Amino acid sequence: MPVSTFSKKHSPASRPGVATAALITSGLLLSACGSSATAEDGDETLVVSTFPFGVEEFQEAVVDPFTEETGIEVELDTGSNADRLSQLQLSAGEDPGVDVVLISDYYAALGQQDELFAELDQDQVPSMEEIADFATEDTYLGPAYSYQLYGTLYSTDELDAEEAASWDMWGDEALSGRVALPDISVTAGQLMVSGVAGHYGGGPYDVDAAYEQLAEWAPGVLQFYSSSTEVTNLLTQGEIAAAGSLNGFATNLVSSGEPVGWVAPEDNRFMATNRAMIAEGAANTEAAHQFIDYLLSQEGQTSSAEIVGDLPVNLEAEIPAELTEVVGDIAEDPVDAGYSTLDPTELVETRDDWVNRFAREVSGQ
């Protein structure tokens, strides 16, 4: 199977506002110095706050092997990004009830602004030396453990990859009423808006240019969706020919033999990361560091890629054929393939305004 070969040479992308490339997943393997480690904070169970989907797979890929390796019991506390961040805000850094928080990058940035996360001690996480540069960018207090690529999910019966990769495709009159785009409220939506802003405007944060172009396309967009189920159903039922989506939406469809493909945009490619953060006031910080070390390790990242379907950040992790069948060589080095992360400092202050304007100027058309 292919092996991830992210280059460590990439430095942050030049402004305006784009940090080094980055955007879902998990890892396992303790480094040699951590393989026999056990929790030193006491006998309390380590509480890991995570996403509500793929829980059984994450348990199998990461949690169970971690417990077997270290003897540390783990309890998973699940919920949406917004709900889990709200719980942390209510605790205000005192007795948060969770130790490790696995959360999307934008929400990680929001939490940092409210001082809800503690700085990671990298000396306690040896696996940090094994991961791609974009996963360790110092904008965040915790590393990325997986990422998601924005692109186009399309019917191979109706479009070829070159057609689906074109930004102009979304305004093609021949496809009017047969395309879907993500709402800005979901991860793919922000990446889409910034891609449009970069292609048609002055850069990824040129919201005026983005919304002008999206408003022009809006009458021909069947739906601005807010869940993966919505868009995959529309595609498999033949109601649409293409949808802007994260790469993970395509994995099961492609592996099951559906006539669909996924392709990166022709330019202005953006990705999101999922971060592993330690909650401010966490009861078990020693065990939390051990868990994150395991999450980032070669063994854990390989297992998570195979079982959960996450794109790994560990440079030596093996990438299963099911993932490379969708994204190809991009999985080996997304930065080299032209992908960048968005700078959260550009988004946190403007997010509410962008969401409100999207509803008025784009999806409300």
Say whether pLDDT at 40 is over 70: no
Say whether pLDDT at 43 is over 70: no
Average model confidence (pLDDT) for the chain?
A: 89
Rg (CA), the chain: 20
Phi, psi of 144 (to 5 degrees): -80, 140
Give residue 228's pLDDT.
85
**Average pLDDT score over residue span 51-64:** 96
User: Quick one: CATH architecture of 148-270+349-361?
Assistant: 3-Layer(aba) Sandwich (3.40)
Please give the sequence-ordered ranges of beta strands (E in DSSP) within the chain, or none if there are none: 46-50, 74-78, 100-104, 117-118, 144-155, 179-182, 221-225, 242-246, 260-263, 269-279, 339-341
Whole-angstrom distance, CA of residue 127 vs CA of residue 294: 8
Give residue 44's pLDDT.
76
359-to-102, 169, 183, 209, 218 alpha-carbon distances in Å = 29, 22, 9, 16, 11
* Cα three-residue angle 235-238-239, rounded to 5 degrees: 80
Give residue 13's pLDDT.
37
**Smallest Cα–Cα separation from 104: which of 187, 184, 197, 198?**
187
pLDDT per position as a tens digit, 304-361 = 999 999 999 999 999 999 999 999 999 999 999 999 999 988 988 898 999 999 999 9
* Cα three-residue angle 62-67-70, rounded to 5 degrees: 115
Give residue 20's pLDDT.
34
CB 298 within 8 A of CB 316: yes
**Average pLDDT score over residue span 221-231:** 92
**Average pLDDT score over residue span 31-40:** 36
pLDDT cut 70: percent of the chain above it: 88
pLDDT per position as a tens digit, 65-81 = 999 999 999 999 999 99
pLDDT band at 173 (very low <50, low <70, confident <90, very high): very high
Q: Out of 3-17, 61-75, 263-277, 283-297, which region has the weakest mean confidence (pLDDT)?
A: 3-17
Q: Out of 4-8, 172-176, 209-213, which region has the weakest mean confidence (pLDDT)?
A: 4-8
Q: Out of 3-12, 20-29, 129-138, 302-311, which region has the weakest mean confidence (pLDDT)?
A: 20-29
Grouping H, G, I as helix, E, B as strand and the rest as coil, residue 34 is: helix
Show me where the domains of the chain are located.
32-146+273-321, 148-270+349-361
pTM for the model stands at 0.85
pLDDT band at 215 (very low <50, low <70, confident <90, very high): very high
Find the largest Cα–Cα distance for the chain.
64
Higher pLDDT, 124 or 344: 124
**Smallest Cα–Cα separation from 190: which of 22, 8, 2, 15?**
22
Say whether pLDDT at 8 is over 50: no
| Amino acid code (one letter) for 95 | D
CB 6 within 8 A of CB 128: no
Give residue 3's pLDDT.
44
Instruction: Write down the CATH number for the domain with range 32-146+273-321.
Output: 3.40.190.10
**Average pLDDT score over residue span 30-53:** 61
Whole-angstrom distance, CA of residue 189 vs CA of residue 105: 14
Give strand pairing partners of 275.
103, 144
